[in-house]
Amino acid sequence: MTGGPAPSAAPAVRSEVCEVSCTARTVPVVPVVPPSDDADDADRAEPGSGATALSTVPAAGSRRGTTPVGALKFFHGPMDCGKSTLALQLDHNHTRQGRRGLLLTRLDRSRRPQISSRMGLSRPAVEVAEDTDLAQLVRRSWAAGTRVDYLIVDEVQFFTPAQIDQLAVLADETQVDVYTFGITTDFRGRLFPATARLVELADEVLPLQVEVLCWCGRPGRFNARVVDGEMVRTGDTVVVADTEAPGDQDRQDTVRYQVLCRTHHRTGDLGPGAAAALPIET
């Protein structure tokens, strides 16, 4: 009688042999811990039960399942640092990639509805009034069949805080990218209400890298208002004028602005040959 196959040997204990020392080492077995009785039933939810499995809930910090939003950026610097030039360049770059934008401004130095730079560049823009609803402005463009992928907003310091809130809503709820450009502080060295709100809400607050110099050679950050050749510290917050052009230093009948460092803005020193101004009150 031919016997069947020999019974297999009992499984040997698994081990690893070190080839160098020839010493056997037993690999520890990691026990599997069964789920406790009080585990969340939602994590083991059956299909069609209506319960949400925890594995489908995005972890903290995960962007999975979130709605994309637009960017709200604030580019700032003193007068004459190239803000409007950068705004026009940014519009050009986006247009070349097939995006459609809307240009907005308020009280441009040219006193025309446009964004203009001191280098001679300009583009037509929508002149925004104090009571303009920017969200409605964009929606009207959509209703007219005009796509709006981004906004270029120049002279943003002259907008209202409410309009800054409207820009944030457009970025968050309509995925429109918003690029704003403006001056941070007024002629007294105090934040404009609109720029203060932008600092609070913007995704990025970006100083322009083009350095404007005070007459002393130090970086200029403050915009001094000069009336009839003298620096003033009182008056309306908004007075539209430009920085001086070559040959304007001797003109005494104009309102202009001059970029100063903190020290000379504080002391009211416009430089050699300029009329003295009252120092800032402390």
> Which amino acids are annotated catalytic?
155
Q: Which contacts qualify for 129-136: CB closer than 8 Å, 24 or more apart? A: 130/160, 132/163, 133/166, 134/104, 134/163, 134/166, 134/167, 134/170, 135/166, 135/169, 135/170
The owner of tokens 């789920």 is 35
CA distance readout (Å), 123 to 113, 116, 133, 140, 146: 9, 7, 22, 21, 18
- Please state the φ and ψ torsions of residue 162, each to the nearest 5 degrees: -65, -35
Distances (CA, A) of 210 to 29, 72, 180, 204, 245: 65, 21, 17, 18, 18
Residue 267 identity: T
**Distance between CA atoms of 203 and 245, rounded to whole angstroms?**
35
